Amino acid sequence: MRGPDRLELSGERFGVVYHLTGTEDEARTKAADLCVEQTVEFPADLLPAGDIPDHIVGRVESFERVDERRFEALVSFAVEVAGGELTQLLNVIFGNVSIKPGVRVERLNLSPAILGLFGGPRYGREGLRELLNVPSRPLVCTAVKPMGLDVAELAELAHQFALGGVDLIKDDHGIADQSFCRFDERVTRCAEAVRRANQMTGGHTLYLPNVTAPVNELARRTQVAKRVGAGGLLVSPGLIGFDTMRDLAGDDAVDLPIMSHPALLGSFTVHPSAGFSHFALYGQLMRLAGADACIFPNYGGRFSFSESDCRAIAAGCAEPMGAIRASLPTPAGGMSLERVPEMCAFYGNEMVLLIGGDLHRQGASLSDACRRFVEIAERADTRSAPTTSPGPF
Amino acid sequence: MRGPDRLELSGERFGVVYHLTGTEDEARTKAADLCVEQTVEFPADLLPAGDIPDHIVGRVESFERVDERRFEALVSFAVEVAGGELTQLLNVIFGNVSIKPGVRVERLNLSPAILGLFGGPRYGREGLRELLNVPSRPLVCTAVKPMGLDVAELAELAHQFALGGVDLIKDDHGIADQSFCRFDERVTRCAEAVRRANQMTGGHTLYLPNVTAPVNELARRTQVAKRVGAGGLLVSPGLIGFDTMRDLAGDDAVDLPIMSHPALLGSFTVHPSAGFSHFALYGQLMRLAGADACIFPNYGGRFSFSESDCRAIAAGCAEPMGAIRASLPTPAGGMSLERVPEMCAFYGNEMVLLIGGDLHRQGASLSDACRRFVEIAERADTRSAPTTSPGPF
């Protein structure tokens, strides 16, 4: 029997906190407009009375001033509007209003019915630490690059990195399936090189090939990666879509940890009054979409993220989100061994240190440079006694 | 036999025109940096001499001042760097530099080898006009909405619209597979309602359901749409990825025209010195990714695109791009019947007029409002004699 609610809605709503720029009147108008724009997208005065204006249209739950020209509105939506899927959830959160100036998604307040739709990171912090047999210190990662080296050269790099005991070796995100370095051969050879090194050292280094690829090629590359023994996947959701990454993360036949790369996503955070907050994009959204570790540009590197942006990302990676596991912030972009102690002090142990080019500057063999990298991360372990041993190397 | 070029590159390069904000020195530094950032992403002084710095790293081909703090750099890349795929092409164009402030993609100068990778719009302007049997006047489109109506109500709307003779009826982009309006039933009923109307009128109205969906659901929904007689597809590439739309457009088993929706893409154009130009995003990129018609917010509506933004989009939809067909600009977002003559004068005949809510305001039946809409478009036909007949209705 149908109750007074013709649409049979549960009554559960989820929230999105928006920052709105302008005068108070302008911001209030923006908040009211987006309730319509993100749902019915129809003249409010022409809506039939009842469920649609009462339940389907978004609702401004609170409105506060943040500063002179910035206001914060919490808008709620019926969970059913998101249709049980990430694509439509993104659409409700920021589909049309992304096109309006002065609207930024600050934070997602997702309700149990929404959080329950998503598996999130398959491994998360603890799972990845278990795979790597690294219970406490910050994790250590480097990248196979530059583009233009041939397969044998890249595999030799991977071998040296793994001999040096780094935890994670990822492909550079620009290495795809170029004619001068084919995916299948490269991933096969790099995975084999890492396996050989692990056998020699007794280590657990994982190799994460870049599987970002056309949609009709993605499954095949992922299967190749899995078959030849890759230990994880590098994925750029900006290039293949957030939902595609979610699908990969949830695939039991793949069953590999995912490191996300921010390629093409810069426009979402480059303007402080548009797009997404760093917290929402690199913390909450990447976790919904299944990233176990999330690469972003660290403050003080080649990019322009601030310390406060980076602190927000770290918080978003750990923010309670129902059963969705915490992810590992992976600050990168021109980092150096010198900065490791400072970065560890800033982020704490729950992070991945990602250093590429600087390992090639150490005047030592690459495997020695990697050993030094791991050693510095061990010494920075804030959970160990201050006089901890520097480790086996 | 390998020549002096170890990587066996063809020598063909494609170009990207970037706008760079800052002083001349800053802009020159940005241009030089992005040649490295978008390719090898490795300290330039550590690159091995030879092919990598000579051919793989991007090259600034020209650099000019646009105004006081804006400079235009044409940067070329070896076609092989794009790896033969849209995901990696996007990555080279704007992967990492999207994260840096003051860099905007202004225009793509794609070379034959790149253009040859993509089928582009399957129908394009002429193909769509042929399907619709509308050789000359601007095309006419409306939307089934608002979200919250049930399947029978939406199908009845579609029926009325088709009786009124509009060319295209699209789902609202927020109508997905909600519990109160399931995809399969809705699309089946709407397609049937349009077919019935076409039989009554002898018309050729096409129904375009919104198939934007999770990646593991997209193929199924598209098949349902195809099977029940949908005449096209509405796709939001911001939600499912540009490459996924490309894949749909190229699928011979689907073989339907695609209308793209800009949901979630606003951040790419909301800031004038970041993201993509309107020309590049809504014109060139949407065509590479297979959109036959491209929805964007018209000037003077609910959004903030300017006349010059819209003119640039129309130009991008028609810009010569090898064998890639021209697409139809589809300005929308709070348009009204009153504005049709002005819009037709602005865009000319090669456009889709998309009006939603305003058709419900005409104080006439919806099918009469649609007849009026078509009639206005016929009168606006700039290729007909000025005293053209108003058509069959």
Is residue B281 scored above 50 in pLDDT?
A: yes
Interchain CB contacts (distance < 8 Å): A and B: 302
For residue B5, the model assigns a pLDDT of: 77
Give pTM, 2 decimals.
Answer: 0.96
B positions 182-241 inside 8 Å of A (CB): 212-217, 236, 238-241
Question: Residue B10 and residue A180: Cα distance in Å, rounded?
Answer: 11
CB contact under 8 A, A213 and B303: no
Is residue B388 within 8 A of residue B181, CB to CB? The reply is no
Q: Count CB atoms within 10 A of the CB of residue A255.
A: 11
For residue A384, the model assigns a pLDDT of: 67
Contacts of B346 (CB under 8 A, 6+ apart): B307, B310, B311
Q: What is the pLDDT of residues B80-120, one digit of tens each?
A: 999 999 999 999 999 999 999 999 999 999 999 999 999 99
Q: Is B382 on the interface with A (CB under 8 A)?
A: no
- For residue B90, the chain A residues in CB contact (below 8 A) are 239, 264
Q: Is A52 on the interface with B (CB under 8 A)?
A: yes
Mean pLDDT estimate for chain B: 95
CB contact under 8 A, B98 and A263: yes
Q: Which of A7, A149, A270 sits opposite B271 (nearest CB)?
A: A270
Q: A3 versus B383: which is more confidently predicted?
A: B383
Closest residue by Cα to residue A373 from A128, A200, A164, A154: A164
Q: Is B101 on the interface with A (CB under 8 A)?
A: yes
CB contact under 8 A, A213 and B91: no
The confidence band for B393, taking pLDDT boundaries of 50, 70 and 90, is very low
CB contact under 8 A, A264 and B95: yes
CB contact under 8 A, B81 and A51: no
Mean local confidence (pLDDT), B42-50: 93
CB contact under 8 A, B176 and A87: yes
Residue B126 CA: distances (Å) to CA of A48, B93, B139, B346, B351: 39, 30, 12, 20, 12
Mean local confidence (pLDDT), B211-222: 97
Q: Consecutive sets of 10 residues in chain A, 393 residues long: mean pLDDT of each?
A: 73 98 98 97 94 97 98 98 98 97 97 98 98 98 97 98 98 98 98 98 98 97 98 98 98 98 97 96 98 97 92 98 98 95 96 96 94 96 60 42
For residue B258, the model assigns a pLDDT of: 98
Backbone angles phi, psi at B211, to 5 degrees: -100, 5
Give the best residue of B99, B142, B216 to mutate against chain A (max A CB count within 10 A): B99
The confidence band for B1, taking pLDDT boundaries of 50, 70 and 90, is very low
Beta-bridge partners for B78: B13
Q: Which of B43, B214, B270 sits opposite A243 (nearest CB)?
A: B214
Exposed e or buried b per residue across B259-298, where buried means at least 16 C-beta atoms within 10 angstroms of its C-beta: bbbbbbbbbbbbbebbbbbbbbbbbbbbbbbbbbbbbbbb
CB contact under 8 A, A360 and B98: no
The confidence band for B265, taking pLDDT boundaries of 50, 70 and 90, is very high
Q: Count CB atoms within 10 A of the CB of residue A294.
A: 29
Q: Which of B147, B270, B361 sits opposite A56 (nearest CB)?
A: B147
Q: Is A98 on the interface with B (CB under 8 A)?
A: yes
- For residue B178, the chain A residues in CB contact (below 8 A) are 80-81, 83, 88
Q: Is B304 on the interface with A (CB under 8 A)?
A: yes
Give the best residue of B180, B186, B305, B336 to mutate against chain A (max A CB count within 10 A): B180
- For residue A173, the chain B residues in CB contact (below 8 A) are 41, 91, 95-96
The confidence band for B391, taking pLDDT boundaries of 50, 70 and 90, is very low
Q: What is the pLDDT of residues B297-306, one digit of tens each?
A: 999 988 889 9
CB contact under 8 A, B41 and A84: no
- For residue A215, the chain B residues in CB contact (below 8 A) are 215, 241, 243-244, 247
Q: Which of B8, B37, B147 sits opposite A39 (nearest CB)?
A: B147
Give the best residue of A2, A270, A276 to mutate against chain B (max B CB count within 10 A): A270
Give the DSSP per-residue string, A158-172: HHHHHHTT-SEEEE-
Give the DSSP per-residue string, B297-338: EPTTSSS---HHHHHHHHHHHHS-BTBPPP-EEEEESS--GG
ipTM of the predicted assembly exceeds 0.85: yes
For residue B369, the model assigns a pLDDT of: 97
- Bond prior to A138 in cis (omega within 30° of 0): no
For residue B245, the SS3 value is: helix
CA distance B202 to chain A (A): 30
**Residue of chain A whose alpha carbon sits nearest to that of B241:** A241
B positions 313-352 inside 8 Å of A (CB): none
For residue B166, the model assigns a pLDDT of: 98
Residue A380 CA: distances (Å) to CA of A337, A342, A376, A388, A391: 12, 9, 6, 9, 12
Q: Which of B46, B95, B244 sits opposite A360 (nearest CB)?
A: B46
